[in-house]
């Protein structure tokens, strides 16, 4: 049953809701329900979800989002985008999902934060993927609560980014993933080269391609 305190006045712009597996990062392989929010504050040239970039005034009440999510058997929810933290009511959705017993993951570019999440952040697996479009800037509030760093390895990426001081804690904790852009062979080789370079410096990072694409899943 949905909780009565979830009010339809709280709504978010949603691009799509679907079930698949988590194909990226440290939780790869986890059966997941994806809530893709509409709208992003960055414009990465290789973005694989360009239809989710523009902001929209069309919204779905949180109650409606929960109803859709509960149609699927999976109990892990991934909020992605677009950029989830660009949505003022994100914390309302997060609280509702936690109260309904879902495990929760948020994928973010790291540039923004929602203060409403301060009291719930420890109950959420936050995957931060810093972007070259923002000079790999990450809001300090995001870094504080990040569970993993996922770097897309493309032409602009280098080991110098991983070695930045603000990322050192997660690097030492072995919570860094290198993801070859578009699963392209050239970027896979580059990611492996960077992994070896970092290994020689005493750091362990993981190279994980987009597994869902390899399996032909959404």
Q: What is the band of 9 on the pLDDT scale with cuts at 50, 70, 90?
A: low
pLDDT at 70 over 70: yes
**Quick one: average pLDDT of 107-123?**
96
pLDDT at 1 over 70: no
pLDDT at 59 over 50: yes
pTM: 0.94
> Which residue is listed with tokens 């597994």?
211
174-209, pLDDT tens digit by residue?
Answer: 999 999 999 999 999 999 999 999 999 999 999 999
* Residue 2 or residue 199, greater confidence: 199
Cα gap 217→197, rounded to integer Å:
32
**Quick one: average pLDDT of 164-178?**
98
Cα gap 127→62, rounded to integer Å:
22
DSSP 141: H
74-97, pLDDT tens digit by residue?
Answer: 999 999 999 999 999 999 999 999
**Quick one: average pLDDT of 8-19?**
88
**Quick one: average pLDDT of 107-118?**
97
pLDDT at 149 over 50: yes
The overall average pLDDT reported for the chain is: 95
Going by C-alpha positions, the residue among 79, 123, 75 that lies closest to residue 100 is 75
Q: Mapping DSSP to helix (H, G, I), strand (E, B) and coil, where does residue 96 land? A: helix
Q: Mapping DSSP to helix (H, G, I), strand (E, B) and coil, where does residue 64 land? A: helix
Cα gap 80→150, rounded to integer Å:
14
pLDDT over 70, % of the chain: 96
pLDDT at 5 over 80: no
Q: Hey, what CATH topology would domain 11-214 get?
A: TIM Barrel (3.20.20)
Q: Going by C-beta distance under 8 Å and a sequence separation of 6 or more, which residues neighbour residue 159?
A: 194, 197, 198
pLDDT at 4 over 80: no
Q: What is the band of 3 on the pLDDT scale with cuts at 50, 70, 90?
A: very low
If residue 67 lies in a helix (H) or strand (E), which one and from where to where? Answer: helix 62-69
The residue ranges of every structural domain in the chain are 11-214
How much is the pLDDT for 127? Answer: 98
State how far the alpha carbon of 185 is from the alpha carbons of 23, 152, 179, 181, 190, in Å. Answer: 18, 13, 11, 9, 9
């Amino acid at each position: 049953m949905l909780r009565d305190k979830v009010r339809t006045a709280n709504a978010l712009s949603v691009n799509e809701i679907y079930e698949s597996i988590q194909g990226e990062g440290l939780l790869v392989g986890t059966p997941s329900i994806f809530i893709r929010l509409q709208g992003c504050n960055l414009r990465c040239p290789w973005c694989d979800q360009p239809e989710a970039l523009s902001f929209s005034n069309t919204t779905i009440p949180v109650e409606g989002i929960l109803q859709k999510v509960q149609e699927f058997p999976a109990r892990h929810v991934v909020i992605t985008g677009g950029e989830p933290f660009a949505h003022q009511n994100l914390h309302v959705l997060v609280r509702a999902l936690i109260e309904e017993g879902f495990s929760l993951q948020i994928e973010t570019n790291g540039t923004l934060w929602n203060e409403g999440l301060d009291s719930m952040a420890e109950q959420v697996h936050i995957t931060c993927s810093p972007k070259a479009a923002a000079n790999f800037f990450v809001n300090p509030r995001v870094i504080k609560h990040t569970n993993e760093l996922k770097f897309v390895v493309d032409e602009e990426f280098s080991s110098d980014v991983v070695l930045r001081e603000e990322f050192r804690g997660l690097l030492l904790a072995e919570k860094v993933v290198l993801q070859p852009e578009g699963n392209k062979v050239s970027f896979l080789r580059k990611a492996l080269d960077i992994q070896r370079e970092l290994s020689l410096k005493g750091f362990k990072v993981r190279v994980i391609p987009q597994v869902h694409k390899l399996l032909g899943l959404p």
